[in-house]
């Protein structure tokens, strides 16, 4: 391995391995590793496969064995230097005999940092080389560590003219069956699925991960419903004994007989602050429930509020080849009134692919702290 281009290719190979751990390793960081021998040939790879399991570089170096001597370890996160659930990876790296380590991200966790110094002290050359893909990979972990907030993904299905329902509120089905399967897969990888009362009243969704061989996580369903309008007959309430369900509502609503009925149905009620802001409620619930990732599947009301509080990090949009041509049909986000295009929220398109006939776009919101 010699050229910078080759390092980028190998680092991206490590990143692609790391992505396979989504929903399995959080609150840990997704990590992948590739080992080359002294001649630059790839001899082993590894990834962090489950929370608390062996780290990616350990897995890769163990596979490589003696062949790693004089070689290079490429890893998407700086090797850790502390005793956590596993011993420090720096020890395994030093023992492996590699002469060089290239990592794509300094460990944002103060407890685990110091890997670069420990390796350098042992005579190993350490380089930092992020790629566009590793920046995407590491952003959720950096965000969680920096802000003590989960990574929040907003998902919606829209027509070609950007509408999420007809003027009567009908939205079944804008997206294709294949797109909806992908949404179920995503629900099976997150810790909570949020929606608003408007969506519950219009669509009566279950918001569970269905038709999957094995969901990786069981998401808590959370409904934002200030005045506690959610009917006892709603599917979410009817299934609350089997799937954890929380409703966020005002303090006054907590004291009503309807609140008692909902509690008896197995629903947890949590108080919303009087100003309706969600940041602190989400932060508190995240600490209590150890959430890492939230998927939001709501209409424009809740989306608008979450965007206003800068809580959305990523957007997953399914655009179907349907035109409604009706200005009374709702859009995906409401509550903003920019006068210039430049005043709109500027997003970064990270990926787009097809789930025929839909086009799926993955976008990121820039962290102002970057």
Ligand X SMILES: NC(=O)c1ccc[n+]([C@@H]2O[C@H](COP(=O)([O-])OP(=O)(O)OC[C@H]3O[C@@H](n4cnc5c(N)ncnc54)[C@H](OP(=O)(O)O)[C@@H]3O)[C@@H](O)[C@H]2O)c1
Structure tokens at 174: 């804008």
* CB-closest chain residue to ligand X: 299
Radius of gyration from C-alpha coordinates of the chain: 23
CB 65 within 8 A of CB 28: no
Q: Which residues would be at the binding site for ligand X (CB under 6 A)?
A: 156-157, 164-165, 169, 171, 174, 195-199, 202-203, 224, 226, 272, 276, 278, 297-302, 305, 330
According to DSSP, the residues that pair with 247 across neighbouring strands are 223, 269
Cα–Cα dist 326/303, whole Å: 21
Catalytic residue among 26, 57, 186, 297, which?
57
Q: H helices within the chain, ranges in order?
A: 4-19, 56-64, 89-96, 115-121, 132-147, 177-187, 197-203, 235-238, 251-254, 257-264, 279-289, 300-308
Taking the complex as a whole, the smallest distance from the CB of residue 159 to ligand X amounts, in Å, to 9
Which CB, 79 or 198, lies closer to ligand X?
198
What separation in angstroms does the CA of 58 have from each of 14, 29, 32, 100, 344? 13, 15, 10, 15, 45
Cα–Cα dist 228/232, whole Å: 11
What separation in angstroms does the CA of 150 have from each of 15, 294, 313? 21, 7, 9
Taking the complex as a whole, the smallest distance from the CB of residue 259 to ligand X amounts, in Å, to 16
Which CB, 76 or 158, lies closer to ligand X?
158
Which CB, 99 or 310, lies closer to ligand X?
310
177 is catalytic: no
Taking the complex as a whole, the smallest distance from the CB of residue 34 to ligand X amounts, in Å, to 38
Which CB, 57 or 225, lies closer to ligand X?
225
Q: What angle do CA 157, 158, 162 make, to 5 degrees?
A: 150
Taking the complex as a whole, the smallest distance from the CB of residue 366 to ligand X amounts, in Å, to 23
Which CB, 35 or 174, lies closer to ligand X?
174
Taking the complex as a whole, the smallest distance from the CB of residue 25 to ligand X amounts, in Å, to 28
Catalytic residues: 57
């Amino acid at each position: 391995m010699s050229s910078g281009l080759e390092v980028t290719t190998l680092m991206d190979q490590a990143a692609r391995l790391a992505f396979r751990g989504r929903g399995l390793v959080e609150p840990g960081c997704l990590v992948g590793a590739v080992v080359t021998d002294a001649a630059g040939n790839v001899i082993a790879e590894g990834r962090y496969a489950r929370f608390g399991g062996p780290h990616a570089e350990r897995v890769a170096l163990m596979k490589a064995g003696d062949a790693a001597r004089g070689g290079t370890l490429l890893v998407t996160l700086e090797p850790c230097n502390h005793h956590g659930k596993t011993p420090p990876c720096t020890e395994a790296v030093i023992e492996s005999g590699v002469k060089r380590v290239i990592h794509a991200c300094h460990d944002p966790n103060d407890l685990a940092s110091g890997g670069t110094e420990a390796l350098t002290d042992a005579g190993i050359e350490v380089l930092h080389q992020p790629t566009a893909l590793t920046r995407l990979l590491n952003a959720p972990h950096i965000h969680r560590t920096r802000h003590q907030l989960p990574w929040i993904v907003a998902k919606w299905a829209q027509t070609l003219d950007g509408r999420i329902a007809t003027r009567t509120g009908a939205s079944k089905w804008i997206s294709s069956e294949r797109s909806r399967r992908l949404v179920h897969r995503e629900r099976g990888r997150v810790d909570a699925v949020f929606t608003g009362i408007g969506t519950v009243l219009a669509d009566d969704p279950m918001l569970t991960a269905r038709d999957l061989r094995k969901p990786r996580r069981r998401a808590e369903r959370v409904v934002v419903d200030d005045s506690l309008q959610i009917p006892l007959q709603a599917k979410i309430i009817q299934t609350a004994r089997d799937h954890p369900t929380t409703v966020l509502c005002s303090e006054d609503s907590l004291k009503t007989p309807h609140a008692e009925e909902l509690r008896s149905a197995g629903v947890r009620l949590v108080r919303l602050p009087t100003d309706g802001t969600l940041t602190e409620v989400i932060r508190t619930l995240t600490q209590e429930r150890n959430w890492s990732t939230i998927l939001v599947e709501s209409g424009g009301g809740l989306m608008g509020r979450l965007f206003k509080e800068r809580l959305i990090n990523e957007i997953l949009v399914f655009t179907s080849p349907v035109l409604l041509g009706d200005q009374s049909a709702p859009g995906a986000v409401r509550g903003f009134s920019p006068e210039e295009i430049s005043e709109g929220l500027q997003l970064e398109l990270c990926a787009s692919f097809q789930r025929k006939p839909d086009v799926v776009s993955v976008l990121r919101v820039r962290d102002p702290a970057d």
